[in-house]
């Protein structure tokens, strides 16, 4: 789970060339891997409320057009055993989200069934709301982003030690100001000649909004919302944790965060199989 906002990485990993390495060293494989372990079938059948919750999730994932309607299930209405069983069944998937405001915090995790999200809303460190939601992404993200569109100001002057940061910042501020759905764009910073001073200044100038997203796979993808509307840092790391791709995305929400239509359909099918084959529950 993501409990703290990760920093913006500045240094990119050195390229690996086997021709320069007489021992032909290679990037180490991950040493640990999380696997899904289902709870006891007997535990499920002793708690019919679990079957009803899973059935509602399947209905939400099957809504047509796919992904346009979300199903929300308030977990605070259920006892601890039911919530624990649901947590065991759904597990934790690749996406985790952390969003902070003064006195408030969101902790969101995608389940192993893509498009099924568990949302926890805290106020002064006290859990005030916990629910499951189906859809490409939790709707509360859009609500928080619409409120938190802080307006940054392009500096009138720049330090003398910068190379390409001023021109790039002019472009980024203009694209943020003129953004419209359909004009999404990715700026690949890895391919641009930027000095460490350029990167540090851009990070300071764009600022951060207090929303970070982690997408885990063979490597990790760290996503941070900047203080500029629609502008996101999206950084990809290899398994040893070295930065291999550094980008800025101008978009409402980066695609890597959202469950695709085929993901929702697959999750609906797999959850339906859980109900019929393991839980003996007819949806």
User: Could you tell me which of 213, 225, 220, 227 has the C-alpha nearest to residue 258?
Assistant: 213
- pLDDT value at position 61? 93
- pLDDT value at position 150? 59
- pLDDT value at position 149? 59
- pLDDT value at position 24? 47
pLDDT tens across 40-73, in order? 555 666 778 998 999 999 999 998 776 677 899 9
Q: Is 69 helix (H, G, I), strand (E, B) or coil?
A: coil
List of domains in the chain: 18-25+37-143+259-278 (3.30.1370.140), 146-257 (3.30.1370.140)
- pLDDT value at position 235? 96
Cα 77 from Cα 134, distance rounded (Å): 18
- pLDDT value at position 47? 79
- pLDDT value at position 283? 45
CB 201 within 8 A of CB 165: yes
**Taking residues 10-37, what's their average pLDDT?**
57
Cα 124 from Cα 221, distance rounded (Å): 29
Q: Count Cβ neighbours within 10 Å for each residue of 55-89 and write b for 16 or more, e otherwise.
A: bbbbebbbbeebbeebbbbebeebeeebbebbebb
Cα 70 from Cα 107, distance rounded (Å): 19
pLDDT tens across 109-127, in order? 999 999 999 999 999 999 9
CB 232 within 8 A of CB 225: yes
pLDDT tens across 90-110, in order? 999 999 999 999 899 999 999
Under the banding of pLDDT at 50, 70 and 90, the label for residue 239 is: confident
Of the listed ranges 81-85, 143-147, 153-157, 274-278, the least confidently predicted one is 274-278
Q: What percent of the chain has pLDDT over 70?
A: 83
> Phi-psi category of 126—alpha, beta or left, where left has phi over 0 and alpha has psi -120 to 50?
beta
Under the banding of pLDDT at 50, 70 and 90, the label for residue 32 is: low
């Amino acid at each position: 789970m993501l409990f703290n906002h990760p920093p913006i990485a500045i240094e990119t990993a050195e390229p690996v060339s086997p021709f320069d390495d007489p021992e032909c060293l290679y990037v180490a494989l991950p040493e640990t891997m999380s696997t899904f372990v289902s709870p006891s079938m007997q535990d499920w059948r002793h708690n019919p409320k679990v079957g009803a919750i899973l059935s509602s999730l399947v209905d939400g994932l099957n809504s047509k057009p796919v992904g346009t309607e979300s199903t929300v299930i308030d977990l605070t209405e259920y006892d601890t055993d039911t919530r624990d069983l649901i947590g065991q069944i759904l597990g934790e998937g690749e996406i985790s989200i952390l969003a902070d405001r003064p006195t408030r915090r969101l902790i969101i995790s995608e389940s192993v069934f893509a498009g099924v999200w568990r949302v926890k809303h805290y106020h002064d460190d006290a859990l005030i709301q916990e629910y499951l939601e189906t859809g490409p992404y939790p709707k509360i993200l859009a609500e928080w982003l619409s409120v938190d569109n802080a307006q940054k100001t392009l500096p009138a002057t720049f330090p003398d030690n910068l190379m390409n940061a001023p021109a790039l910042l002019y472009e980024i501020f203009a694209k943020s100001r003129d953004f419209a759905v359909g004009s999404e764009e990715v700026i690949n910073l890895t391919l641009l000649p930027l000095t460490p001073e350029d990167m540090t200044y851009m990070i300071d100038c764009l600022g951060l909004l207090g929303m970070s997203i982690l997408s885990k796979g063979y490597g990790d993808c760290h996503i941070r919302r900047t203080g500029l509307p629609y502008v996101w840092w999206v950084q990809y790391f290899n398994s040893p944790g070295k930065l291999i791709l550094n980008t800025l995305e101008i978009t409402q929400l980066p695609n890597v965060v959202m469950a695709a239509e085929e993901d929702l359909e697959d999750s609906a099918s797999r959850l339906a199989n859980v109900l019929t084959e393991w839980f003996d529950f007819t949806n």
